[in-house]
Amino acid sequence: MEFSSKLLENAVNEISQLPGIGKRTALRLALHLLRQPKENTHGLSKALNQMVDDLKLCKSCHNISDTELCDICANPMRKTDVICVVEDIRDVMAIENTASHKGLYHVLGGKISPMDGVGPHDLNISSLVEKVKSGSVKELIFALSPTMEGDTTNFYIYKQIKEFEVETSTIARGISVGDELEYADEITLGRSILNRIPFENSLKL
Protein backbone atom coordinates (compact mmCIF):
# COMPACT_ATOMS: atom_id res chain seq x y z
CA MET A 1 0.00 0.00 0.00
CA GLU A 2 1.37 3.41 -1.01
CA PHE A 3 0.38 6.25 1.32
CA SER A 4 0.32 9.91 0.45
CA SER A 5 1.05 10.74 4.10
CA LYS A 6 3.54 9.38 6.63
CA LEU A 7 1.16 10.29 9.46
CA LEU A 8 -1.63 8.24 7.93
CA GLU A 9 0.74 5.36 7.17
CA ASN A 10 1.98 5.37 10.75
CA ALA A 11 -1.56 5.32 12.17
CA VAL A 12 -2.62 2.51 9.81
CA ASN A 13 0.44 0.46 10.77
CA GLU A 14 -0.32 0.88 14.47
CA ILE A 15 -4.02 0.02 14.08
CA SER A 16 -3.24 -3.09 12.02
CA GLN A 17 -1.18 -4.47 14.93
CA LEU A 18 -4.49 -5.22 16.66
CA PRO A 19 -5.63 -8.85 16.35
CA GLY A 20 -8.01 -9.53 13.48
CA ILE A 21 -7.49 -6.10 11.88
CA GLY A 22 -5.70 -6.06 8.54
CA LYS A 23 -4.28 -3.12 6.60
CA ARG A 24 -7.49 -2.45 4.67
CA THR A 25 -9.67 -2.37 7.77
CA ALA A 26 -7.06 -0.23 9.53
CA LEU A 27 -7.19 2.26 6.66
CA ARG A 28 -10.99 2.33 6.83
CA LEU A 29 -10.85 3.01 10.58
CA ALA A 30 -8.19 5.72 10.18
CA LEU A 31 -10.26 7.49 7.48
CA HIS A 32 -13.29 7.24 9.74
CA LEU A 33 -11.37 8.96 12.57
CA LEU A 34 -10.28 11.69 10.16
CA ARG A 35 -13.89 12.42 9.26
CA GLN A 36 -14.85 12.77 12.95
CA PRO A 37 -14.11 15.74 15.23
CA LYS A 38 -10.56 15.52 16.60
CA GLU A 39 -11.91 15.28 20.14
CA ASN A 40 -13.26 11.78 19.44
CA THR A 41 -9.81 10.47 18.63
CA HIS A 42 -8.27 12.30 21.59
CA GLY A 43 -10.91 10.66 23.81
CA LEU A 44 -10.12 7.22 22.41
CA SER A 45 -6.38 7.66 22.89
CA LYS A 46 -6.82 8.96 26.42
CA ALA A 47 -9.10 6.06 27.41
CA LEU A 48 -6.61 3.52 26.03
CA ASN A 49 -3.63 5.13 27.77
CA GLN A 50 -5.44 5.44 31.09
CA MET A 51 -6.51 1.82 30.87
CA VAL A 52 -3.02 0.40 30.35
CA ASP A 53 -1.44 2.85 32.81
CA ASP A 54 -3.83 2.67 35.74
CA LEU A 55 -5.63 -0.66 35.56
CA LYS A 56 -4.79 -3.13 38.32
CA LEU A 57 -5.28 -6.84 38.75
CA CYS A 58 -7.09 -7.87 41.93
CA LYS A 59 -4.35 -9.15 44.24
CA SER A 60 -6.54 -12.04 45.32
CA CYS A 61 -8.32 -13.35 42.19
CA HIS A 62 -6.37 -11.61 39.37
CA ASN A 63 -9.58 -10.15 37.96
CA ILE A 64 -9.22 -6.73 36.34
CA SER A 65 -10.00 -3.99 38.83
CA ASP A 66 -9.53 -0.31 39.56
CA THR A 67 -8.70 -1.09 43.20
CA GLU A 68 -6.31 -3.48 45.00
CA LEU A 69 -9.14 -5.90 45.76
CA CYS A 70 -11.82 -6.28 43.07
CA ASP A 71 -15.50 -5.59 43.78
CA ILE A 72 -16.32 -9.30 43.91
CA CYS A 73 -13.54 -10.22 46.36
CA ALA A 74 -14.37 -7.15 48.47
CA ASN A 75 -18.09 -7.98 48.62
CA PRO A 76 -18.94 -9.37 52.12
CA MET A 77 -22.06 -11.09 50.72
CA ARG A 78 -20.05 -13.56 48.61
CA LYS A 79 -19.12 -17.04 49.84
CA THR A 80 -15.34 -16.94 50.22
CA ASP A 81 -14.91 -20.73 50.38
CA VAL A 82 -16.29 -21.52 46.90
CA ILE A 83 -13.94 -20.52 44.11
CA CYS A 84 -14.74 -20.67 40.43
CA VAL A 85 -11.61 -21.14 38.30
CA VAL A 86 -11.86 -19.37 34.92
CA GLU A 87 -9.62 -18.61 32.00
CA ASP A 88 -10.00 -14.86 31.68
CA ILE A 89 -12.11 -11.93 32.78
CA ARG A 90 -14.62 -12.38 29.96
CA ASP A 91 -15.62 -15.65 31.63
CA VAL A 92 -16.09 -13.82 34.95
CA MET A 93 -18.40 -11.38 33.18
CA ALA A 94 -20.32 -14.21 31.48
CA ILE A 95 -20.83 -16.16 34.73
CA GLU A 96 -21.71 -13.00 36.70
CA ASN A 97 -24.43 -12.33 34.12
CA THR A 98 -26.09 -15.65 34.99
CA ALA A 99 -26.17 -14.73 38.72
CA SER A 100 -25.78 -18.43 39.57
CA HIS A 101 -22.40 -18.29 41.32
CA LYS A 102 -22.32 -16.72 44.78
CA GLY A 103 -18.67 -17.46 45.55
CA LEU A 104 -15.42 -15.89 44.37
CA TYR A 105 -13.35 -16.36 41.22
CA HIS A 106 -9.79 -17.16 40.34
CA VAL A 107 -8.66 -15.88 36.93
CA LEU A 108 -5.88 -18.03 35.45
CA GLY A 109 -5.10 -15.63 32.62
CA GLY A 110 -5.23 -18.35 29.95
CA LYS A 111 -5.03 -22.12 29.64
CA ILE A 112 -2.10 -24.49 29.26
CA SER A 113 -1.37 -24.67 25.54
CA PRO A 114 2.08 -25.91 24.49
CA MET A 115 1.21 -25.08 20.85
CA ASP A 116 0.93 -21.39 21.77
CA GLY A 117 3.91 -21.57 24.13
CA VAL A 118 1.76 -21.21 27.26
CA GLY A 119 2.97 -23.39 30.13
CA PRO A 120 1.64 -23.72 33.70
CA HIS A 121 4.12 -21.09 34.93
CA ASP A 122 2.62 -18.44 32.64
CA LEU A 123 -0.71 -18.79 34.46
CA ASN A 124 -1.89 -17.78 37.95
CA ILE A 125 -1.83 -21.36 39.21
CA SER A 126 0.59 -21.18 42.15
CA SER A 127 -1.49 -18.53 43.96
CA LEU A 128 -4.55 -20.78 43.56
CA VAL A 129 -2.67 -23.76 45.03
CA GLU A 130 -1.59 -21.53 47.94
CA LYS A 131 -5.23 -20.58 48.62
CA VAL A 132 -6.23 -24.25 48.70
CA LYS A 133 -3.21 -25.15 50.86
CA SER A 134 -4.22 -22.52 53.43
CA GLY A 135 -7.42 -24.51 54.02
CA SER A 136 -9.80 -21.63 53.35
CA VAL A 137 -11.36 -23.21 50.25
CA LYS A 138 -14.19 -25.76 50.49
CA GLU A 139 -14.99 -26.16 46.81
CA LEU A 140 -13.19 -25.45 43.57
CA ILE A 141 -15.39 -25.20 40.45
CA PHE A 142 -13.47 -25.69 37.22
CA ALA A 143 -15.21 -23.49 34.62
CA LEU A 144 -12.79 -23.70 31.70
CA SER A 145 -13.86 -24.30 28.10
CA PRO A 146 -14.40 -28.01 27.39
CA THR A 147 -11.48 -28.22 24.97
CA MET A 148 -8.23 -30.19 25.00
CA GLU A 149 -6.40 -27.20 26.54
CA GLY A 150 -9.13 -26.59 29.11
CA ASP A 151 -9.13 -30.25 30.17
CA THR A 152 -5.33 -30.28 30.39
CA THR A 153 -5.36 -27.20 32.61
CA ASN A 154 -8.10 -28.63 34.84
CA PHE A 155 -6.14 -31.85 35.26
CA TYR A 156 -2.85 -30.06 35.95
CA ILE A 157 -4.45 -28.03 38.76
CA TYR A 158 -6.29 -31.08 40.06
CA LYS A 159 -3.00 -32.97 40.47
CA GLN A 160 -1.54 -30.07 42.49
CA ILE A 161 -4.43 -29.83 44.94
CA LYS A 162 -5.80 -33.36 45.27
CA GLU A 163 -3.68 -34.02 48.41
CA PHE A 164 -5.51 -31.20 50.22
CA GLU A 165 -9.02 -31.42 51.56
CA VAL A 166 -11.09 -29.65 48.93
CA GLU A 167 -14.08 -30.61 46.82
CA THR A 168 -13.65 -30.18 43.08
CA SER A 169 -16.31 -29.98 40.40
CA THR A 170 -16.52 -28.97 36.75
CA ILE A 171 -19.38 -27.19 35.06
CA ALA A 172 -21.90 -29.57 33.48
CA ARG A 173 -21.32 -30.52 29.87
CA GLY A 174 -24.32 -31.61 27.89
CA ILE A 175 -26.87 -30.58 25.31
CA SER A 176 -27.42 -26.81 25.25
CA VAL A 177 -30.86 -25.68 26.33
CA GLY A 178 -32.96 -25.22 23.18
CA ASP A 179 -30.76 -27.45 20.98
CA GLU A 180 -32.17 -30.24 18.84
CA LEU A 181 -30.88 -33.62 20.03
CA GLU A 182 -30.27 -34.93 16.52
CA TYR A 183 -27.73 -32.19 15.80
CA ALA A 184 -25.67 -32.70 18.98
CA ASP A 185 -22.21 -34.18 18.47
CA GLU A 186 -21.65 -37.79 19.56
CA ILE A 187 -19.28 -37.09 22.43
CA THR A 188 -21.53 -34.49 24.02
CA LEU A 189 -24.62 -36.68 23.60
CA GLY A 190 -22.82 -39.77 24.94
CA ARG A 191 -21.54 -37.93 27.99
CA SER A 192 -24.89 -36.33 28.66
CA ILE A 193 -26.37 -39.83 28.99
CA LEU A 194 -23.56 -41.12 31.21
CA ASN A 195 -23.78 -38.01 33.39
CA ARG A 196 -27.57 -37.99 33.60
CA ILE A 197 -29.11 -36.35 36.67
CA PRO A 198 -32.18 -37.37 38.72
CA PHE A 199 -35.28 -35.96 37.01
CA GLU A 200 -36.43 -34.29 40.22
CA ASN A 201 -33.22 -32.27 40.26
CA SER A 202 -33.91 -30.86 36.79
CA LEU A 203 -37.31 -29.63 38.00
CA LYS A 204 -35.71 -27.42 40.63
CA LEU A 205 -33.91 -25.21 38.08
Binding to its own copies, residues 162-191 (CB under 8 A): none
Among residues 117, 51, 61, the alpha carbon closest in space to that of 84 is found at 61
Among 78, 82, 85, 96, binds its own copies (CB under 8 A): 96
- If one asks whether residue 144 binds its own copies (CB under 8 A), the answer comes out as no
Among residues 155, 69, 55, the alpha carbon closest in space to that of 111 is found at 155
- If one asks whether residue 63 binds its own copies (CB under 8 A), the answer comes out as yes
Phi first, then psi: give them for residue 82, nearest 5 degrees.
-120, 120
- If one asks whether residue 2 binds its own copies (CB under 8 A), the answer comes out as yes
83, β-bridge pairs = 104, 140
- If one asks whether residue 102 binds its own copies (CB under 8 A), the answer comes out as no
Among 59, 79, 90, 102, binds its own copies (CB under 8 A): 90
What does 111-179 look like in DSSP terms, one character per residue? --BGGGTB-GGGSTTHHHHHHHHTT--SEEEE---SSHHHHHHHHHHHHHHTTSS-EEEE---SPPTT-
Please, what is the minimum distance in Å from the beta carbon of residue 136 to its own copies?
A: 22
Residues that bind its own copies (CB under 8 A): 1-8, 10-11, 13-15, 17-20, 25, 27-34, 38, 40-55, 58, 63-66, 70-72, 88-90, 92-93, 96-97
